[in-house]
Amino acid sequence: MSAQRAVIYPLSAATNEVAEARTNRQSPVCSSCFGTGMEVVPGKGARRCHCRTRDRQAKLLEQARIPPRYQRCSLASYSPALNNNAQLQAVNLAFRLTDEYPAVDRGLLLMGSCGVGKTHLAVGILRGLVEKGVTGLFYDFGALLKEIQDSYNPLSKTSELNRSGRAKEPPSAARESGTKQ
């Protein structure tokens, strides 16, 4: 680089207030890995620290785009109606799917009238898979169809590959159907 192109940035000392603000912004350092992301296991070597796993799960859950309305839904919080064997079977199959994933040979299709818990179970499955480190995405069925439809409209400036900024769909997706049966 020639001296003519070099840009000179003057350095100045940070005041105590600036240093304190930077210190307060930083998250606390993990006591297991001291911020390295790897913890030493005596006699076994090193492994990924639990703090990184927890952070990754939180990031995956955020990327799953579960609407605020369904943030508290989980398989554990689902309560099948009394004497309703279909709902009991559905929740049992949902638990089994999340426990056995990825060694499952087929998925689940949840059908039923409005208000029986299809979306609750779908979000519960999505949460269970995210806890295992699987990427997933919540999508309202109507919005998904609209994006696909827009991908064929040259005026929408959307293509099938770049809809919502994603290059491809994640391996699992919870889709909400807005249709009545």
Write out pLDDT tens, residues 78-100: 999 999 999 999 999 999 999 99
Q: Which residues contact 163 (CB under 8 A, 6 or more apart)?
A: 147, 148, 150, 151
**From CA 39, how far away is CA 47, in angstroms rounded?**
6
Q: Is 174 helix (H, G, I), strand (E, B) or coil?
A: strand
Please give the pLDDT value at position 90: 95
Single-letter amino acid, residue 157: K
Q: If we measure between CA atoms, which residue out of 120, 33, 107 comes closest to residue 71?
A: 120
pLDDT of residue 18: 47
Q: Which of 131, 124, 116, 135 is nearest to 173 (CA)?
A: 135
CB contact at 8 A, 164 and 127: no
Nearest-angstrom CA–CA distance, 178 and 181:
10
pLDDT at 121: 97
pTM: 0.62
Residue predicted with more confidence, 50 or 21: 50
More confident residue, 172 or 116: 116
Locate tokens 């959307």: which residue? Answer: 158
Do strands 136-140 and 172-176 pair parallel, antiparallel, or not at all (unpaired)? Answer: parallel
Instruction: Give the dihedral sign, CA 53/59/64/70.
Output: positive
pLDDT in tens, 117-157: 999 999 999 999 998 889 999 998 898 899 888 888 877 66
Question: For residue 138, what is the enclosing H or E element?
Answer: strand 136-140
Per-residue model confidence (pLDDT) at position 129:
93
Distance from C-alpha of 101 to C-alpha of 171, rounded to nearest angstrom? 11
The top-scoring range by mean pLDDT among 5-14, 50-59, 78-87 is 78-87
Q: What's the mean pLDDT when you consider all of the chain?
A: 80
**How many residues are recorded in the chain?**
181
- Max mean pLDDT among 27-36, 54-63, 71-80 falls in 71-80
